[in-house]
Amino acid sequence: MKRPFPILYVDTEMLAVDKPAGLLAVPDHWDPDVPVAREMLSKEFGRLLPVHRIDKETTGVLLYARNEAAHRELNERFSTRQVEKVYLAVVHGEPEEDAWDVELPLRADGDRMHRTVIDASKGKPAKTRFEAIERFRGFTLVRALPETGRTHQIRVHLAASGLTIVADPLYGDGASLMLSALKRKWKGDVYEERPLLGRTALHAAKVALMHPATGARLAIEAPLPRDFRATLAQLRKLCSP
């Protein structure tokens, strides 16, 4: 049977996959018709228990536990900040600093658009470390290191920093990134042009943690997807500082 997407790690305790854009990690009552990664994988791997989530349009490392004991251990490690998570994002704008922290409390489903909002009184503690790892004219490749795991945390904390993720429909303008917008002498047909990046430019690049049964350290990484690589290639070519 052909697998729906790459397996990054699997044993009797846990499963890690490289989730593509457009799939939910677990069923969501907001998007009942969207395909769900867990259901697609359970046909081959049996019952899978979620230990964290990444957004529908986010690509990269997604973990599931394969039994109750592993689920308890992994949940404990995620909730007590024993898991290192690394994300990459292409954002509009250029930060003043090369590294900065955002520590703003967040409340999920805080407005009519079901967005996460900053809420000093009712929000849950949330902290993210950011690093500008590559700069372009008008854009930056950012590494995000979230210490907590609130819904949409990276997206909201970046927006609070004045840096919206490319093509983010909730916290940015939602506009796809087109080559014609980067290339000064664009000669193609704008009506037939396909976007370089047509979904939220966020990738879960790495999860590092202790194995739930053996205690051995695992570092699970997912390569950049094709649209992300193509975008960076064009930014390097056309928008170098």
Domain count across the chain: 1
55 catalytic residue (yes or no): yes
pLDDT in tens, 21-74: 999 988 877 777 788 999 999 989 999 999 999 999 999 999 999 999 999 999
Q: Where are the alpha helices (DSSP H) in the chain?
A: 37-45, 68-79, 153-160, 179-182, 226-238
* 50 bridge partner residues: 64
In a domain, 164, yes or no: yes
CA distances from 192 to 29, 178, 189, 200, 226 (A): 35, 11, 5, 21, 20
The range of the structural domain enclosing residue 27 comes to 7-238
Q: Catalytic one among 18, 28, 55, 98? A: 55
**What predicted TM-score, i.e. pTM, was given to this entire model?**
0.94
In a domain, 150, yes or no: yes
Q: How many whole angstroms from its chain centre is CA 13?
A: 24
In a domain, 167, yes or no: yes
* 7 bridge partner residues: 17
In a domain, 1, yes or no: no
CATH number reported for the structural domain that contains residue 157 in this entry: 3.30.2350.10
Using an 8 Å Cβ cutoff, are 222 and 81 in contact? no
Using an 8 Å Cβ cutoff, are 137 and 241 in contact? yes
pLDDT in tens, 136-181: 999 999 999 999 999 999 999 999 999 999 999 999 999 999 988 8
